[in-house]
Structures are given as C-alpha cells and as structure tokens.
Amino acid sequence: MAAMGLYLLEQADAVTGGTAGLALLLTHATPLSFAALFLLVNVPFFALALWRKGWKFTLKTIVCVGIVSGFTVICEMYFPVPDMHAVFGVVAGNVLVGMALLAVFRHGASLGGFNILALIAQEQFKMRAGYVQMSLDVTVVLLALTVIAPQGVLLSAFGAVIMNIILAFNHRPGRYRA
C-alpha cells in the first residue's frame, strides 16, 4: 500500500513528508532512484531505532523499508501511469501511505526516519505521533520549493496534511489495546 502511494506521488511529481518525501525530493536533485534514496535516507534512523526501540522494532522497520523500496520498483515496471491527474496522485498517494503507516505502526514497526522520531516522541514525551510527523513534514514540503513549482508544492502540502490527519486521528496511545 505504501509503495503504491509513493509511486503515485512520484508520478504526480509531488513530495510528501517524512523520509519518503525527502527521498522523493532528492530524486529531483540526484540521478538515483526513489527506491535507492529511500533506503539511503533511512539508514541513520535505523541506529536511532535500535537504540530507543530495540532489535525487534528495528528489524521489522528495516524489512518494511526494504519491501517498500522493492515494491516501488515493481510498481514502476508493471504499473505505468501515463496520464494521471496530479490531484488524484497526491490525494490517493497520501491516503494509501497514511493507511499503510497505521498498519505498520499497529504491528510494531515503522517506515523509517521521521516515523521513528514520531513514535519515540509519542511513547516517551506523550506527544501525538501525527502532530510530530506533521511538523517534520512541513520542513520537507517547504524544502520542495527549491526544486518543484510553487503550485506543485502547495498540492504536496495538501497531500501531506491528508496523510497526517489520518495519523493524528487514528494513531493514539492505547488505541489498539485488547
């Protein structure tokens, strides 16, 4: 789900928040693919995850990041999107990523980077993960002004808000206790 959402965002020439958004942003400035950049951007956060969240969480996160990277390559190969409207790509992409993040968080992992910071802030400082994520995402979206037209950045910001609203309203401490 996350890979398809990120692929739609890439095809819409948009960014989102988090390390995924940072990787999408860097595709404009480097010859590397999104899949490679997503893996590279997340490497430093794996050390943070190991330190604060433990081996189990870190290994699940590494697997999730690897799967998302791999599936974005598969989406590129088998799901060409020749004439997608940018608004659809941004909205659908961010909804898919937001829902995927909820599922991944629910199962004790993350999609790396800023997600790790947001989960640590929620657990240790009682800050809502969605709000922490949104504040970090604003930074990434603003950086997009350096490589994307202002209307594309505005659309990207709208999409990032959608994704973060999904997280803020649905990922709360104690929500998943049986």
Task: Parse the chain into domains and list their residue ranges.
Answer: 2-170
Average pLDDT over residues 73-90: 92
The answer on pLDDT for 142 being more than 80 is yes
Q: What's the token pair of residue 148? A: 């994307």
3-state secondary structure of 127: coil
Average pLDDT over residues 42-57: 90
Instruction: Report the range of poorest mean pLDDT among 23-27, 69-73, 107-111.
Output: 107-111
Please provide the average confidence, as pLDDT, over all residues in the chain: 88
Look at residue 5 in the predicted model and tell me its pLDDT. 96
Q: What is the tens place of the pLDDT at every residue in 89-129?
A: 999 999 999 999 888 878 877 788 887 888 788 888 888 87
The answer on pLDDT for 131 being more than 50 is yes
pTM to 2 decimals? 0.86
Distance CA 92, CA 20 (A): 15
The answer on pLDDT for 66 being more than 90 is yes
Average pLDDT over residues 68-94: 94
Residue type, 150: P
Look at residue 176 in the predicted model and tell me its pLDDT. 53
Look at residue 178 in the predicted model and tell me its pLDDT. 40
